[in-house]
Amino acid sequence: MKTVTKFWIGIAVLIILSPLGLIMPEHFKAGAAWGEWGADEMVSLVGYIPNGLEKLSGLWSAPLPDYAFKGWEEKGLPDLSLAYIISAIVGIGITVLAVFLIGKMLTKKDN
């Protein structure tokens, strides 16, 4: 099996497993997934907001906040799991397209 095929199989497995970031914290009643805390959650976890996070917290608004579509935030776990998978596919697709385009620009031959 080619290395590229193994790579894409690995990516597909990770896409399918992406809802674990939603399912595991829900199963263990752990709150938000590890490392996905906003400024408000940082205060409750460590007692303060780090200066860098406080300065930059309003700078970026995610295209799919919480990996879900508008109106899906309160839907059940199966719908949110589907949203996680779609979000993973969209994110990987954008990344692959960007890398492909940058690669094309960097390898463009002068005529």
Determine the Cα–Cα distance for residues 101 and 12; give it in Å rounded to an integer: 22
Tell me the per-residue pLDDT of 23-64, one tens digit each, with 9 for 90 and over. Answer: 887 778 777 776 777 788 888 888 888 888 888 888 877 777
Please state whether the predicted TM-score (pTM) of the whole model is above 0.85: no
Q: Above 60 in pLDDT, residue 111? A: no
- For the record, the structure tokens of 102 come out as 């940058």
On whether residue 37 sits in a domain, the answer given is yes
Yes or no: say if 65 and 3 are a contact pair by the CB < 8 Å rule.
no
In a domain, 78, yes or no: yes
Is 111 inside a domain boundary? Answer: no
Are residues 48 and 31 in contact, defined by beta-carbon separation less than 8 angstroms? no
Count Cβ atoms below 10 Å from residue 98 Cβ, excluding itself. Answer: 10
- What domain count does the chain have? 1
Find the domain containing 40 and state its range. Answer: 3-106
20-27 vs 77-106: helix axis angle to the nearest 10?
150
Asked whether residue 64 is domain-assigned, the answer is: yes
